[in-house]
Amino acid sequence: MTTDPGSCVLEAVDVHKAFGTQRVLRGVDLRVEAGLVTVIIGGSGSGKSVLLKHLIGLLTPDKGEVRFHGRPIDEMDGRALLDFRARIGMLFQNGALFDSMSVYDNVAFPLREHRRSMPREEERERVRTALHELGLRDIEHKFPAELSGGMRKRVALARATILGPEIILYDEPTTGLDPIMIKAVDDMIAETQERLKVTSVVISHDMASTFRIAHRVAMLYHGEIIAYGTPDEIRHSDNPIVQSFIHVSGTGPLQPAAA
């Protein structure tokens, strides 16, 4: 499917979600624009991870809907939902690689799930290409425990991009990393977005990282999107909650990504 740059590819419309008496999402409205990096920010417990699970169809809203190219996800049948998920790559916190599998088997896993009839030689070439594009060579035989933290992130990204997804979602990709590694991961996200021309959604609480990579920023607070706009618009928001979040982060002068 051809997507016009800047058009809406993924959209949450009045999404509500509660677990028992705990209301987590309270009417979330969010547009994810094609070809851009959208960063969803917010503190712990703001509902970011729950929103992410709705965006990939792992949770169903109590009220409202999530749409992919205008079609509600919860109206998709099994085959359509499988196709939808194949068009979304996911980079989990800490990579979430399979410890008992080699790098090769980790990266090839989505191909074996979604492209079972693919010839083995084509599989090998696609795995090799995905790794090489991220600067990884001669590690196919290694296991995750043998890799550095940065290499594990890149292997996980190779796995997330192996099917040529339309959208890549990153769940707190810089959590627990030192400043140098955070910058390296930010560069990896920006370079992948530019190289593959994908749409990216990043869940984060790191404002410095957000301002480095984002084209659009959405702030989730107590289950609602209270601010949405370009990094410059968020930086100069008159919302006191947004300003407090930025101030506490100690973020310096903004240098927004070009839209």
Looking at the domain assignment, is residue 123 inside a domain? yes
Say yes or no: 208 and 220 in one domain: yes
Residue 147: CB atoms within 10 Å: 18
The rounded distance, in Å, linking the Cα atoms of 93 and 174 is 8
Say yes or no: 11 and 77 in one domain: yes
Say yes or no: 152 and 184 in one domain: no
Say yes or no: 73 and 181 in one domain: yes
Looking at the domain assignment, is residue 61 inside a domain? yes
The last residue of one of the domains, among 108, 139, 164, is 164
Looking at the domain assignment, is residue 259 inside a domain? no
Say yes or no: 101 and 124 in one domain: yes
What domain count does the chain have?
Answer: 2
Looking at the domain assignment, is residue 221 inside a domain? yes
Give the length of the chain: 259
Looking at residue 206, its pLDDT comes to 86
Say yes or no: 31 and 127 in one domain: no
Return the sign of the alpha-carbon dihedral for residues 109, 186, 224, 64: negative
Say yes or no: 103 and 218 in one domain: no
The rounded distance, in Å, linking the Cα atoms of 66 and 14 is 9
Which 3 state secondary structure label does DSSP give 103?
A: helix
The last residue of one of the domains, among 164, 189, 206, is 164
8-19 and 88-91 strand pairing:
unpaired
The rounded distance, in Å, linking the Cα atoms of 13 and 24 is 15
Would you state the structure tokens that stand for residue 20, as one six-digit string?
A: 């028992």
- Below-70 pLDDT ranges, the chain: 1-6, 94-95, 249-259
The residue range of the domain holding 236 is: 1-87+168-247
The rounded distance, in Å, linking the Cα atoms of 216 and 11 is 14
Looking at the domain assignment, is residue 255 inside a domain? no
The last residue of one of the domains, among 138, 164, 190, is 164
Would you state the structure tokens that stand for residue 71, as one six-digit string?
A: 């079609």
pLDDT one-digit tens code per residue, 129-165: 989 888 888 899 999 999 887 788 889 888 988 988 9
Looking at residue 1, its pLDDT comes to 47
The rounded distance, in Å, linking the Cα atoms of 51 and 201 is 11
The rounded distance, in Å, linking the Cα atoms of 103 and 199 is 25
Say yes or no: 49 and 125 in one domain: no
The rounded distance, in Å, linking the Cα atoms of 42 and 207 is 10
